[in-house]
Each structure stands twice: as C-alpha cells, then as structure tokens.
Structure 1
C-alpha cells in the first residue's frame, strides 16, 4: 500500500505539469524520433518508392491516431491501449494487447539505444565500419553492440535511481528537433533538391510488390509512439481538452516529416547511399546540404543521439508502468510491479525487461541480418497487434458504453440502433489487420518470435489465474461506471463527470424499457 501511495502522489504531481505543449513534446520526443531510425531501413527496402511506403503506413497511422485520440480523451487512464482493450474486449484480450505492447516497449529499448549509438558513431567512422567475421552470422560490429549494451545499462541505472527525463527537457529537445528537421527539409528543397533526379529514381528504382509491402511494414515504426500520449493521460491537465489537441497536432506534424524526408532525400542522394547508412541516415542527409552541411550533419547526429536515447528510456518507463497497470487489473502477479522501498521505483521490472532488451540486441547483431532491421521486425509486430486490438476495442466501446461522454469523436459515423458506428474505426481495423498480415508474411523473425512471445505471456496468464483461483477465459467482475467516475474525478473533468452521470441515468432507463 505504501508503494501504491508513492505512485499515486507522483502521478498527481505530474498531472499538474503536463499541459498542451508539454503533452505534445512528450509525444513528439517519442514519435518524432522514429524517422531517424526508419529512413535508412525503409529506403534500403523500398528504394525509389520510399515515399509511397511512408504514405501507405501514414494512412493507417491516421486512423489509429484518431482512434487513440477518442479513447484517451474519454478514458484518461495510464493503462493506454492495454486498458482500452481490456475494458472493451475483456481480460484475456487485454492480456494479449498488454503482451504486444510489452514486446514493443522491450524492443523499443534495444532498437533506440542501438540507433542512438549509431548516430554517436557519425563522429567515429572507424567504429561504424568495424566488423569481424563470425561463423553462421556473417560479420558483426562488436563495437556498436558494446555501445548499445552500455547505453541500456546506463538507462537501467538512471531508472532505478528514479532519474528520468523531465517534461521541460522533452519540451526543449522536441522544439530543437522540430526546428532542425524543418531546416533540413526546407534547405534541402530550396537549394539541393532536383525534381528530375527524384522522378528518375522513382521510375527506374521501383521495387517488386513484396519489397514494397515489406518496406511499408517497416515504415510503421515512424509512426509508433502515440501510446506515450495516452499513457500520460492520467498525468495531464484537463485531458479531455488537451489530448485531442495534442494528438491531432502530433498526427499532422509527424506525418508531414515522415513524408518530407524520403522525398527530399531521393531528390538529393542515390537511394542506396541513404539505405546503406543504417545507423545515421538523417545525419548523412544533413551533412550533404549546401552551405550548412558541415554544421547540420554534426548537429543532427548529436540531437538524434540524444532524442533517441530518450525514446529508449520511454521503453524502460513504459514497460514498468504497463507491468504495474496489468498487476492492478489482475492480469499478472505484483512481483514485477513492486516499488523499491529506498528508490521508490519498480526495480524488478526495470532490470527484468531491460535484461530482455539487452538479450534481444545481442541476438539481433548475431542474427545474420542488419541489426536495426531485425529489431524493427519485432517492433512492427508488437505495435500492429496492439493497434489492431485497440481499433476493435474502439468500435466495441462505442456499442457497449454509449453513455460515456466522448470529448472527441472520430469523424464519419453511421448511426445504427441508437449507436454511432465509426466508419474510420472500421477502416482502422481493416488497415491494421492487413498491416499485421503483411508483417507476418514478410518478416521472418516476427513470424516466429512474435507469436512465441505472446504464447509465453498467455501461458503465464493461465498459470497465474489458476494459481490465484480466478477465471481464465472470463473477465473479473468490474464496476466500469464507478471506475469512470473515479477517472473523471482524478482528472478534474467535473463537467464531463456531471454529463456522465446524466447519461448513465438515461442509459439505465432505456435498458429497463428495452
């Protein structure tokens, strides 16, 4: 109970600080950093069609983003997608969504620590080019692997001691990053971009359909991170008003950057140069800009290394927060969510999931493939499975809980039997389902490791529920009306609370009449 009170006090303090700009930069520090990783990976696969891969993934991202915006504003709880799925689909599917998000968070730590080290090596070409032959695995860059493991260890130490990035730091880095990315795009288009060269690469270097689909599934990692905004919903001032503004701005800004970077790159450099720089593609592009390249390249590398490390730290924080949420909801034991009596941080979950991240990084380097690409396979699987279930939960919650006030609703709704069915939500289900199918078809690592990860979590869930005498396939009894009142009271949404109580009365009367 003492540990629970500590966490509650921390959340109350944070809730008073996270405003519209703070919420936006919090999300941007996570989502906006993804293009630093995705640009090289996607271009290596999509070649001249890289903008198309980002566009297709971006369309799916818009539908998922709108769904998350509605649910996070209506249910401002720290559980994020896992909470939405559990509330809409029940305990078992909540566990599946939680396992998918846990995979994404765990991979997040390894993937972004690896990418951060890659941008550090922009200043040390000899480290970037260092490889030694290893039987069955080809050649391995042990220096890059060592740097990745050191960064993961650093994040473990910082999180155990309770040190994490502040909202102010996120705001500063987010603003600097937007300025830098805008400068690269604007200067590139004005002084270096050649439309004829762009069209030439589009026409002559268009990949086969399978490679394009594979690249599209990789491009998804440019847009993953909206979860961080909903995870912070319980710590945000007036989430009903702030979250829709934050999410909509984030969707637009990130989509523009994700489309602009491949377009400007293909008009300046051959696709294979960008695709060949797995670790620091944006710094390479910035260094080739006229007039400012000698400054822009190093500046992009420093900022990218910093903001990517913060994104990796989001994975450490997210996994421990998710473990706490799942324990509170009866999906797993409380062992991993226990808070250290001295440091007041969930030490066990930090060490456990960071250790798994380190093992994933080692396996990625020894997989015989490009390390970042191997990690991106698993990242895409975890994210798309969670998003697929979340979009289903949106439609189900619209039907089951029409009495819950929704400060923001997805556009294009069809009224059916007194319920507004979100047409974009249904398209989101189709889009995320198809994207998940593409991931399973084109990603050899995800085909095995992804389902295996989920199966292990399901096995643990069955064992835990049996041991505690709880139902396995049925959900625990929960009073969602009382839960919604608690959420709205804690978030200070008094107008919505009064409206909710009125809507509940009307809903109960209609249920009796039926």
Structure 2
C-alpha cells in the first residue's frame, strides 16, 4: 500500500506542462475519430478549410481559457469566468451549456467506440449494435466512477502520446502514397459542392474537433504553477490539434474524393453511412483502408488503429463522465442545482446521483436515436454558446478589473482608454457567436432541442432559487461546506494547508493528515504563497523564493505520503499570504483550512498568531483549524 501511494503522489506532482498537454490532447485529439466524418457530411471538399477556420477560433478560445484559468484556477471554465464578470445567473447559463456539451461528448464518444471495434465484428458499425455497445460503455464508466476507481494517469499520458504519433504516421504515409493537390482542387465547386449553407453550418460542427477544451481548466486545481503551466499547455494543444486537423483531412479527401451521386447530390465516402459504402462511423479507419496499403500490412494497421481509437474514445468518454459530475457538483455547491446532486455515496464517497443522471441516463437517451449528426450539432450548440460566454466574460473582466495585477495576460491586445482590450477574445467571441447563430438558424431540430434544454434549465433554476434557496437569481450563494456522512462523523472532501518550512507547518500537516486518513476521498491541498514586495511586479524573477517554495512543498508531500492521503500542490504569488490563502480555499470549495502558528504571549495591539493566520481567521467563510506549537502562551 505505501508503494502504491508513492506512485500516485508522483503522478499528481507531474501536472506540469507535459502532463497537462498529454491529458488535454488525449481528450481533444480523440475527436478526430468522429469529427472528421461528421464535418465532411456538410463541408465535402472544403473540409480542410473548415477545420482551419475552426482551428483559428479554437486558438482564440484557448487564449481566453488560459488567461481566465490563471486568474481563477478553479474548475468551471466559462461558468467561473461568468461569475466573476457578471453574476450567478450568467454563471448558471454557461454551466448549463457546459452540461449539454458534456452529455453530448459522453454520448458521441461512447457511440463511436463500437464502430472502431468493428474490425473484430462487423455488425458493430451499424444500428442497433453500435447503440447497444455505446450504452454499455456509458454504464460501465458510470459504475466505475461511482465505485471511485482512480484513473491511471501515466497510462493516459502514454496513450495520448501514442495517439498523436499514430496520427502523424498516418499523415506521413498519406503524403507519400495518396496526397493529391489536384484532387483537392477538383473536390470543390464553390456554392455547389458544398453549398454556402452547408459550408457555414460545417464551421460550428467542425468545432466538435476541439472537444475537451475545458480539460486544462478543470485540472487547474491540481497544477502546482498555473501561471506558467496552463498557458504553455494550451499553446501546445492548439498547435498539435491545428497541425493534425490541417493535414489529416487533406489526406482523407485525397484518398476519398468528392463524387456526384445518382440523384445529382455531391458526397464523399468519408461522410456516407456504412449502408452506402461510406465511413462516417469510422472515418479514420476509412482513411487507413484507402491509403493504398495491402495484405498483412493493411490488416495489422486496421487492427492497431481500431483498438487505439476505441481505447482513446473510451478514455474520452470517461473524461466526459468525470466532467459532467464535476460541473454538477460545482453547480450544486453554488446553489444552482439542488444539494442532492452534491451528496456523496455513503460507502464510495462519490456524487453518485449526479453521475447516474447527467453522465449516465441523459447520454444513453441521447444515443438511442442513433443519429451521429444530431449529437454533433447539439455539441456545437452548447460549445459555441459556452465559448461565447467565456470570451465576453474575459472582455468584461479586463474592463472592470483593469487595475488588478495579474500573473498572466494573454496576447494580442490593443490598449485604448487605459484598458488592454483582448483582441483574441473579441475576435474569438464574434466567431463563436456567429457559429452559434448559424447552427440555430440552419438546423431546426438542433434549434428546438437546444432552446428546450436552455428553457428547462432556466425555469428549474428560477424555481429552485426562489422557492428553496430563497435568494435572487443573480446572488452568489454557497452551499454549506460541511458534509455529514453518519451521526457525529464529519467528512472533508478538501482541506487546505498553507506550507512553509517551519515546525508549526508540521503540526498543521499532522492535524490535516489525521483528519484525512479516515476518508480515502479527502484531498489535502498544500499551498505555498510567495509574497511579492510592492515595489516589484507580481511576475518578477524570484528564483530563490520559488526554489524554497518547491522544497517546502516536496517536504510536505513526503510527510503526507506516510499517511497515505491524496495531495495536490500549489505555488502562487500575492502581495499578502492571507488573502491568497482564503481565495485559494474558496476556489477549491474547501471545507477546512488548517494553519500552523506558534504560541506567543498576547501583547496589546499585536496579532495573536501572526498577520497571516489572524487574517485567515477573520476573513475566511470556511472553517479554520489552528495547529499551535507546544509552548504555552
């Protein structure tokens, strides 16, 4: 058991740029296995151009999420940004749109798992067996997450790297064997193949390719240095996905060109269903089968790509299941949803009801019609609305909080009237808003289903807030942090401990470890605040202080390892440690702060425990436990 704990600690500590990139690309990169076919249905020969346009919008969105996540390193993404920019009503709207995104992500990812496993049994490519297989995948993953089995983080990282390498390999083979610029040109007849209506609808649908942009934001709480790691991870994810989605569609349309059907319509086998000889259900396998390879080489590559794709999609489905449960838990924590969705299972300590309904029941219902295109357009409806909210929220935050010091400011910006206006957010917001409007106007089924989802959410939110919470729709109200799991038994999900290399910190760590040891779901957040003098910028070079912070956190982790409790670490910068600690605890939805303080004699006008501890005691809305030294007062 101690050995396993050491392995987990090591994985949690590597949530730097490489681990963040691998985890995010594992989700974003998985979408190529279904987005390629769904987009080609509409974009035809302009599929590569459509992915480039969607990629530019994604790059702007990634910059917005990078800055917003560094400012507010908490789970929630656009919902969190909207809360800080506007109020709780806007935050709920963004969160409810995110919920739709997660439901669609779980449904479409699970639905495509059996398609790629059809290399072993052909009926899995079509209804009803793909519906049955997708539903089974969802049920299995919901059950796993209720029981609380931990993901193998190292396996996810390895698979993400293998996935990216495989996609690059397919591109390289394709450029050698089938790439044809003349075919790509002949594939397009502007205004006809595709029509302008199809082209504009394809752009928001192509954003399905960037499923998982919220991943880095949701992992921000587990990143030791968000100001450094989060922006770098988003840049790498944007560059990698842009490279794949620029080149692989070109290979695909060279291997599977556009042709005219008997009824006069234009199509590509990349977007046709299996009963018409197409590969809409497994587009990457379709590319593999048409690269010009033969014999055992083709058979081996088909099996390899099929198994890898199914595995990556399985992991992406699990990420959606986790995301749905996290956003549900966060919404219930801010009294946007009933508190019952925040309650954990008595035995497994997981939010089982949120998992069953939002990650299980609703995605299964979405799969039942077996309509891939509908799942794609519903994802686009929710994603473009959520992204638009994030862009607008960042613009408002830049304006309203222009005097605030920040650790990271995304670029490019334009300075006007004393405000650094985020050009990327302005252009990205216009792009995502136009994409959302196009989806609403062009697809009636998605329009009514999407607006029905929003109407249901806002009505339920209004009723719950007015009749049960008895608060206004715009007021931020936190649910009680304490969770009672049995008579007189208290369970803390998150405990924050400020860390310095002092005997008092050791006392605090011992106290937190004893509280956490009884509950395997409790997580201890070890936080070191580097206090930056007023005469220096927040992002000033403070190498010695950073080195000392890393050593203090390493020592604290080593101590926690002996108690076999889960930990995450954070280095942050601030002018004063007290406010930074309170903000960090609030962002994590922590139930308890444990601080170490020396026992000193009380002197008139002097803080009893010191400036930082006194501030936390006076200003924290969260319970505070002071672990004092052994000397008498």
- SS of match in other structure, 2:409: coil
Q: Does the 8 A contact of 2:74 with 2:220 survive in 1?
A: yes
1:147 partnered with 2:133: yes
**Shift of the alpha carbon at 1:386?**
0.6
Aligned residue number for residue 464 of structure 2: 464
Aligned residue number for residue 21 of structure 2: 24
- Please list the CA deviations of residues 119-159 of structure 1 after superposition, one character each: whole Å capped at 9, or x if unmatched: 11233224425xxxxxxxxxxx1111111111111111111
Aligned residue number for residue 275 of structure 1: 271
**Shift of the alpha carbon at 1:404?**
4.2
- SS of match in other structure, 1:336: helix
The counterpart of 1:305, out of the listed 279, 303, 310, is 310
Instruction: Measure the CA separation in 2 of the matches of 1:220 and 1:195.
Output: 25
Instruction: Measure the CA separation in 2 of the matches of 1:405 and 1:445.
Output: 46
**Shift of the alpha carbon at 1:167?**
1.8
Aligned residue number for residue 136 of structure 1: none
Q: Does the 8 A contact of 1:405 with 1:500 survive in 2?
A: no
The counterpart of 1:287, out of the listed 275, 286, 289, is 289
Instruction: Measure the CA separation in 1 of the matches of 2:196 and 2:377.
Output: 18
1:86 partnered with 2:72: no
Aligned residue number for residue 329 of structure 2: 324
Aligned residue number for residue 160 of structure 2: 174
The counterpart of 1:118, out of the listed 112, 115, 118, is 115
**Shift of the alpha carbon at 1:422?**
1.0
Q: Does the 8 A contact of 1:238 with 1:492 survive in 2?
A: no
The counterpart of 2:216, out of the listed 219, 229, 249, is 229
- Which has the higher mean CA deviation after the structures are superposed, 59-68 or 244-253? 59-68
Q: Which has the higher helix share?
A: 1
Instruction: Measure the CA separation in 1 of the matches of 2:160 and 2:377.
Output: 27
Aligned residue number for residue 435 of structure 1: 435
**Shift of the alpha carbon at 1:499?**
4.1
Aligned residue number for residue 46 of structure 1: 43
Aligned residue number for residue 355 of structure 2: 350
Q: Which has the higher strand share?
A: 2
Larger radius of gyration: 2
CA distance 1:388–1:239, change in 2 (3 Å)? same
Instruction: Measure the CA separation in 2 of the matches of 1:499 and 1:418.
Output: 23
CA distance 1:337–1:469, change in 2 (3 Å)? closer
CA distance 1:405–1:329, change in 2 (3 Å)? farther
- SS of match in other structure, 1:310: helix
- SS of match in other structure, 1:123: coil
1:348-427 residue pairs with structure 2 within 5 A?
348-353=353-358, 354-362=360-368, 364-365=369-370, 371-427=371-427
Instruction: Measure the CA separation in 2 of the matches of 1:492 and 1:116.
Output: 43
CA RMSD in angstroms comes to 2.4
Aligned residue number for residue 165 of structure 1: 151
Q: Does the 8 A contact of 1:81 with 1:390 survive in 2?
A: yes
**Shift of the alpha carbon at 1:280?**
0.7
CA distance 1:175–1:348, change in 2 (3 Å)? same
Q: Does the 8 A contact of 1:22 with 1:170 survive in 2?
A: no
Aligned residue number for residue 315 of structure 1: 320
**Shift of the alpha carbon at 1:47?**
1.0
Aligned residue number for residue 252 of structure 1: 239
Q: Does the 8 A contact of 2:28 with 2:241 survive in 1?
A: yes
Aligned residue number for residue 170 of structure 2: 184
- Please list the CA deviations of residues 388-418 of structure 1 after superposition, one character each: whole Å capped at 9, or x if unmatched: 1010111111122234443332223222343
Q: Which has the higher contact order (CA 8 A, sep 6+)?
A: 1
1:451 partnered with 2:451: yes
CA distance 1:302–1:488, change in 2 (3 Å)? farther
**Shift of the alpha carbon at 1:474?**
2.8
Instruction: Measure the CA separation in 2 of the matches of 1:445 and 1:233.
Output: 36
Instruction: Measure the CA separation in 1 of the matches of 2:298 and 2:101.
Output: 34
**Shift of the alpha carbon at 1:306?**
0.7
Instruction: Measure the CA separation in 2 of the matches of 1:487 and 1:244.
Output: 26
**Shift of the alpha carbon at 1:288?**
2.6
Aligned residue number for residue 509 of structure 2: none
Instruction: Measure the CA separation in 2 of the matches of 1:209 and 1:492.
Output: 55
Aligned residue number for residue 248 of structure 2: 261
1:195 partnered with 2:201: no
**Shift of the alpha carbon at 1:13?**
9.1
Q: Does the 8 A contact of 2:105 with 2:211 survive in 1?
A: no
**Shift of the alpha carbon at 1:17?**
4.0
**Shift of the alpha carbon at 1:175?**
0.7
- SS of match in other structure, 2:255: coil
Q: Does the 8 A contact of 2:335 with 2:469 survive in 1?
A: no
Q: Does the 8 A contact of 1:91 with 1:476 survive in 2?
A: yes
Aligned residue number for residue 52 of structure 2: 55
**Shift of the alpha carbon at 1:57?**
1.3
Aligned residue number for residue 133 of structure 1: none
- SS of match in other structure, 1:33: helix
Unmatched runs of 5 consecutive residues or more in structure 1: 1-10, 130-140, 366-370, 479-485, 505-514
Aligned residue number for residue 135 of structure 1: none
**Shift of the alpha carbon at 1:303?**
0.8
